[in-house]
Copies of this chain bind each other. A is one copy, B any other.
């Protein structure tokens, strides 16, 4: 049996894409394929768990009762929808291909979804904070608090803030949005190493299975494609979306929407993502991030393709996609009338390669992670409210990881704080849409970050200084480029270069106490070739910040520590019961995939069979054995 997801480019239309949907779906958007017996058992269990869910909701309420101090949200232009009643509209024709059978317990009729006999449509928002270990989350919390206190004038910012932390006024329950939804931890090892890369880490989520480092949704032994939760959700008639701050062809988003033996085959990944190059022949309803270089014809400057295919044009033609390239274009896509439905699919590629770190972001060109998340949830939310069609959305804070590879604590923390803003937006969506579960997890830790390090001679310090990180204005990557550019443009003397270093770091890092040795070393690095000395420059710049913040690192690669696992089901009893039963505690990373499969009632095996039966092995491209498993080169994740 071949399965194909729905991909109707026009709302209300029958779908001009190829192929037409073949799977029935019921009006509330629940998948309509025949269910195995255990589904009925599950439904019974979930009904029985309503009381339990209330308990879990009480836990959530307890966790939320702390001193909630979310960061100031710069994008207040997208308030939550006023109509938050899920399932209140009938489905429009065409958005529900097939009239569907009516499996008992899974077929909510139109009307009030809050009725206990009508479970709301189930959606999942899976957020991935790539490369954030437990220490990252701890550090981000206190940096956020320092910023809040600095904004209130209670404490100084920057390196001069060392020792001036407002500890005595720090409320014990100051927390970030993520803190208020911690449910456990995830074990991260891959099939080839105790230290995973992002490809194997994301495949654990997407295929609910371990694979080797470097693998994009393929099996470890025979390297055959494994069906992903995004694909299965699409096949089941759900809307699907991918949001990332990396290239959308990078490991994490790729592992939900493509199948290749090596993560470095990004051109093939792009073809599978938006040009129908898998037997499923679909594209997700939303693909937002960076990476145009793998979608542009070879002849276009900046392209990394080896052919003249224009995948953005192909997506428009094949799937009716709307393609946008700037933050402003994206914002304009959403009709101002909240009753008007958005146009799916949308392909938004806002940079030739990765998007910028939040600290460096050109705000009119590139949307923030919050803005992309908000667009996705507003679009998918309207669809959910108007047609009852639920969704699966993956949102990745991709560059958190890349900053840690560079041991750049400023870019790392500020991308985590933006990620927390996106989490807060998603939590609000869950509150407004019962049945939606928000999960946040990291694929692995990066950098061996710790809040505390050897500084100077004995006696050793029992402290670290969040104020130093709070004050940082630019990534080390940005500053390194600036210093190399200045040198090439001006051919300065050592003295002039040193003066430029002092001025630049003063502005970019708010560090005003550089030692002569630091200034000289950084200035000298700027005279070398950018090609050969970028790593050394990044290290020197990162050290300036890390030493003052008393932050430690052990590697430029990943580490194997368990990562934090967060989930939120709002006030929905079934969602909370499912979270408590299947996500709380110490979990394997594959449990996250299994949770989504069970919660959305997906059939990965059927998708896998479709992919493999259609000669899926042929599309896998060359394996990348020399580089994976076990190796790291700059630029990987």
Contact = CB atoms under 8 A, between A and B. Distances in A.
| Number of identical protomers | 2
Contacts of A459: 627, 631-633
Nearest to A193: B463
Contact of A461 (B134, B181, B454, B631): B631
Contact of A194 (B63, B137, B165): B165
Nearest to A458: B633
A213 interface: yes
B556 A552 contact: no
Interface stretch (A385-393, A430-438, A559-567): A559-567
A543 interface: no
Interface in A255-309: none
Nearest to A133: B134
Interface range, A side: 35 or more
A584 interface: yes
A561 B135 contact: yes
Contacts of A561: 134-135, 138, 450-451
Interface string A598-637: 0000000000000000000000000000010111111000
A359 to B, nearest CB: 23
Contacts of A55: 49, 51-52, 55-56, 577, 580
Given A560-B452, A585-B59, A194 B463 contact: yes
Interface string A157-196: 0000000010110101101000111111101010111111
A319 interface: no
A62 interface: yes
Interface string A405-417: 0000000000000
Interface in A121-135: 133-135
A109 to B, nearest CB: 29
Contact of A450 (B165, B170, B173, B448): B448
Contact of A170 (B167, B170, B182, B189): B189
Contact of A462 (B167, B462, B630): B630
B59 A584 contact: yes
A198 B411 CA distance: 32
A562 B632 contact: no
Contact of A197 (B59, B462, B581): B462
A557 interface: yes
A324 to B, nearest CB: 36
Chain A, interface SS category: mixed
Nearest to A195: B462
A590 interface: yes
A25 interface: no
A271 B179 CA distance: 42
A210 interface: yes
Interface string A105-132: 0000000000000000000000000000
B167 A552 contact: no
Contacts of A458: 632-634
Nearest to A462: B195
A333 interface: no
A464 interface: yes
A165 B180 CA distance: 37
A562 B193 contact: no
A453 interface: yes
14 contacts: A58-B581, A167-B191, A172-B588, A182-B184, A182-B185, A193-B462, A195-B462, A195-B464, A196-B462, A448-B448, A454-B554, A460-B633, A462-B632, A464-B560
Interface of A: 49, 51-52, 54-56, 58-59, 62-63, 133-135, 137-139, 141-142, 165, 167-168, 170, 172-173, 175, 179-185, 187, 189, 191-197, 210, 213, 445, 448, 450-454, 458-464, 466, 552-562, 564, 577, 580-582, 584-586, 588, 590, 627, 629-634
Given A142-B194, A454-B556, A460-B633, 9 more contacts: A51-B52, A59-B584, A172-B588, A182-B585, A195-B451, A450-B555, A461-B631, A462-B629, A462-B631
In the complex, the 3 A-B pairs of residues with the closest C-beta atoms, listed nearest first? A552-B554, A452-B559, A448-B450
